[in-house]
Amino acid sequence: MQKSNSKIGDSPRLSCRNGVWNGGVIVIEQEKTGLRSYYWSYFELHANQRLTTFNFYIVMCTLIGGGYVTVLKEDNLLPLGVVLGFVLILLSFVFWKLETRNKQLIKNAEAALKKLDAELEPNMATSEPSVLRLFEYDEHFVGLKRENKSVWFWRNHWSYSRCFNTIFVLFGILGVLAAVYAAACLSG
């Protein structure tokens, strides 16, 4: 009788009988579950980071806007109004770059989860993906919405990126207008 050197927590050894691996399917499924958990956590982290970053941007813009209104009330502080306008432009640019990076990190996680979904449930010969393949399912229906464009922009599909980018552009333009107005008040 041989003494076993295995310790508590060691993974069980696989054995092969008549060409069939004992426990191999279980190990592969456990690895896929672990990968899915890892990729989902990665997705969740960056999706939350994206929203938190955007919320922080809105708070910063609000504070700068409040400071700008206060500066306009005092003639001796008008040079600070020009600076605040340029800070708003810079802030919009930096947060737009952060948004594009967060978006890419989220897309990376989506691609990994799509691959795992495809292995979980192979694609059937249907015109639309299974509801169990969440990312492909969403991508399919968003694509259909994008094809049906309306002349009314608010009826069209708007992604998070499009909404965020619109806000970044608007605040950037407000920064330009704020700087120009404060400079005009200084010279006139």
Nearest Cα neighbor of 145 from 132, 159, 124, 161 is 159
pLDDT band at 105 (very low <50, low <70, confident <90, very high): very high
Residue 88 CA, chain-centre distance (Å), reads: 23
- Kindly tell me the burial class for residue 136, based on how many C-beta atoms sit within 10 Å of its own C-beta (0-12, 13-18, 19 or more): buried
Max Cα-Cα span within the chain: 100
Record the tokens describing residue 113, joined without a space.
């989860």
Percent share of the chain, pLDDT over 70: 80
- 6 vs 165, residue with greater confidence: 165
Q: Which residue has the tokens 């592969």?
A: 28
Q: Which of 11-20, 86-95, 151-160, 171-180 has the lowest mean pLDDT?
A: 11-20
Residue 123 is predicted with a pLDDT of 62
pLDDT band at 16 (very low <50, low <70, confident <90, very high): very low
Residue 133 CA, chain-centre distance (Å), reads: 19
- 34 vs 101, residue with greater confidence: 101
Residue 125 is predicted with a pLDDT of 60
pLDDT tens digits, residue range 106-164? 999 999 988 888 777 666 666 677 777 778 888 888 887 778 887 887 778 888 999 99
pLDDT band at 172 (very low <50, low <70, confident <90, very high): very high
Q: With 50 as the cut, is the pLDDT of residue 11 above it?
A: no
Write down the domain spans for the chain.
26-120+127-187
- Provide CB contacts within 8 A for 77, sequence distance 6+: 70, 71
Q: With 60 as the cut, is the pLDDT of residue 15 above it?
A: no
Question: What dihedral angle (degrees, nearest 10) is formed by the CA atoms of 29, 33, 35, 41?
Answer: 180
Q: Long-range contacts made by residues 61-69, C-beta under 8 angstroms, separation at least 24?
A: 61/88, 61/91, 61/92, 61/171, 64/88, 64/91, 65/174, 68/178, 68/182
- pTM comes to 0.75
As a whole number, the mean pLDDT across the chain is 83
Distance CA 106, CA 102 (A): 6
